[in-house]
Structure 1
Amino acid sequence: MNALEHHAPIAVVSHLRQLRSRLLRCLLAIVLLFIGLFPFAQTLYTAISAPLRAFLPAGASMIATSVTSPLMAPFKLTLMLALFVAMPLILHQVWGMVAPVVYRRERRIAIALLVASVTLFYAGMAFAFFLVFPMMFGFFASVTPEGVEMMTDIALYLDFILALFLAFGLAFQIPVATFLVVWAGMIDVQTLSKSRAYVIVGCFVVGMILTPPDVFSQTMLAVPMWLLFEVGLVASRMVSRRGTACNADFNREADTA
């Protein structure tokens, strides 16, 4: 047995131990955040349901159609909130596993993309909560047939908004995804720019898949996705030009030498 074969099992065990350690840190962070937030679970649910309750008729309220809903809905909300808040730490632990195999020049770009990804995910959630939800629930309330009262179940409402939070958070990753495919050389900026019409159609298709089956929600997701694609396209152009300039300088120095 040569030295490489001898050290291979040791390296695997070391990586597995590191993976276990990082997973435990992530789990511990989520548990601690959950414990800290759970005493405020009812208050958190009241806050998260405010966009809908603002459009309920006078005297109307949300309902619980299951015996366990008054407990489980705030419990689920607190757990998901703990996961969302812990996301930067989770991604930091993932980066800790990946960083050793990333070149130093690429680390700066990777860190910037990681920070941008987390920021955009939170921005997508904030966009949904502060802009989309009030407009969407106001629209739903305005088209409610006469004689019908909005009496939304608290568990169904939570599932609905969590799905939208995830959809908008993922949709806001488009600039990062656009930059990555250009940076990795999978496609060039000119091709992406010429494919704009297909991208717009794709945005509406994704909006149709990720949002509830109404045109309003689909449009509110598809339009920001298209605009974010344009942002990613601009960033990709800037990086592409900078890379071209760097290559030109390198070739000039090589010719001079």
Structure 2
Amino acid sequence: MTATQPEEPYKLALTALEKVRRKLIFGAVSLLLLTVSFYIISPRIITLLQRHLNQELAFFGVFEPFLALVKVAIVCSILVLLPYILWLIWLVFCEVFGFRRRTGFLFILVGMFLFYGGVCFCYFITLPYGVKFLLSFQKENIVPAISVGHFVNFCGMFLLAFGTIFELPLIMVLLSKAGIINPHTVGRFRRHAILIIAILAAVLTPTPDAFNMALMAVPLYLLFEIGLICSKIAVREKVQ
């Protein structure tokens, strides 16, 4: 895929969004319909999360269970619509930076692999360790009563956050191909990148202990290095 340097990127971006306006509307309608569909099975999904994390839930408001089910349905809908979302992003980049549309399949495939990989990493590793650590502070006279609303917010936010942050190599390649960043320059600021990754790990991980932070920081740093290598290759191909 090749990229061009647009003279007026903001106007091109607005033009690109206008061209995909119908596709955006279709995506919004699809999100709504999927949310309604997932709402029906949301109780089973929450039960699955409960069993996976071994937690009992309670609610403290009349609308809290309803809102929790809606949030679960929305998160599931976003996970299902991810390929379509990636396709829309690719179309915008094609319009603004002149990428070849025929390489869009590879972009979507890699994006799905990274995003779902991040979600699985969070679901099977980070969340169980994080919840276990947070609840380890309970005492004999302090019994935790976890709100279903907070439970859904906690799980949904971290699942989507991990999926998004695992897209780092793909984002770096896109920005390098678009000429927004120079991977050779970025490589010289590796110390700064490590600091940013450490801060992100501290923010994204649900617990402040070093072990859980390392579970996030190490994969992030590896993704950064992979993204750096792939970006350099992409820029080299562009020059050739």
For normalisation by structure 1, the TM-score amounts to 0.73
Paired with 2:74 and 2:106, the residues of 1 have a C-alpha distance of: 28
Deviation at 1:97, TM superposition (A): 5.8
1:76 alignment counterpart: 71
For 1:48, give the aligned amino acid. L
1:167 alignment counterpart: 161
Q: Could you say if the C-alpha distance between residues 68 and 92 of structure 1 is closer, same or farther in structure 2, counting changes exceeding 3 Å? A: same
Paired with 1:99 and 1:174, the residues of 2 have a C-alpha distance of: 19
> Would the aligned equivalents of 1:175 and 1:228 in 2 still touch at CA under 8 Å?
yes
Gapped regions of structure 1 (runs ≥ 5): 1-11, 248-257
Q: C-alpha deviations, 1:185-209, integer Å up to 9, x for none?
A: 4444443333222111111112333
Taking only the aligned residue pairs, the percentage that are identical comes to 25
Gapped regions of structure 2 (runs ≥ 5): 1-13
Q: Could you say if the C-alpha distance between residues 183 and 49 of structure 1 is closer, same or farther in structure 2, counting changes exceeding 3 Å? A: same
- Write out aligned runs for 1:83-162 (5 A): 83-93=78-88, 95-96=90-91, 99=94, 103=98, 106-109=100-103, 111-162=105-156
2:186 alignment counterpart: 192
> Would the aligned equivalents of 1:26 and 1:89 in 2 still touch at CA under 8 Å?
yes
* Aligned equivalent of 1:220, options 204, 215, 218: 215
After superposing the two structures, state which structure 1 stretch, 208-217 or 76-85, moved more: 208-217
Structure 1 vs Structure 2 CA RMSD? 3.0
Q: Could you say if the C-alpha distance between residues 142 and 84 of structure 1 is closer, same or farther in structure 2, counting changes exceeding 3 Å? A: same
Number of aligned residues: 225
> Would the aligned equivalents of 1:178 and 1:236 in 2 still touch at CA under 8 Å?
yes
Counterpart check, 1:232 vs 2:227: yes
Q: Could you say if the C-alpha distance between residues 42 and 165 of structure 1 is closer, same or farther in structure 2, counting changes exceeding 3 Å? A: same
> Would the aligned equivalents of 1:52 and 1:137 in 2 still touch at CA under 8 Å?
yes
For 1:73, give the aligned amino acid. A
> Would the aligned equivalents of 1:171 and 1:221 in 2 still touch at CA under 8 Å?
no
Q: Which has the larger radius of gyration?
A: 1
State the structure with bigger RCO (CA 8 A, min sep 6), 1 or 2: 2
Q: Could you say if the C-alpha distance between residues 137 and 51 of structure 1 is closer, same or farther in structure 2, counting changes exceeding 3 Å? A: farther
Deviation at 1:77, TM superposition (A): 0.7
Q: Could you say if the C-alpha distance between residues 108 and 168 of structure 1 is closer, same or farther in structure 2, counting changes exceeding 3 Å? A: same
For 1:177, give the aligned amino acid. I
> Would the aligned equivalents of 1:121 and 1:169 in 2 still touch at CA under 8 Å?
yes
> Would the aligned equivalents of 2:116 and 2:163 in 1 still touch at CA under 8 Å?
yes
After superposing the two structures, state which structure 1 stretch, 86-95 or 31-40, moved more: 86-95
For 1:199, give the aligned amino acid. A
For 2:53, give the aligned amino acid. L
Paired with 1:224 and 1:94, the residues of 2 have a C-alpha distance of: 25
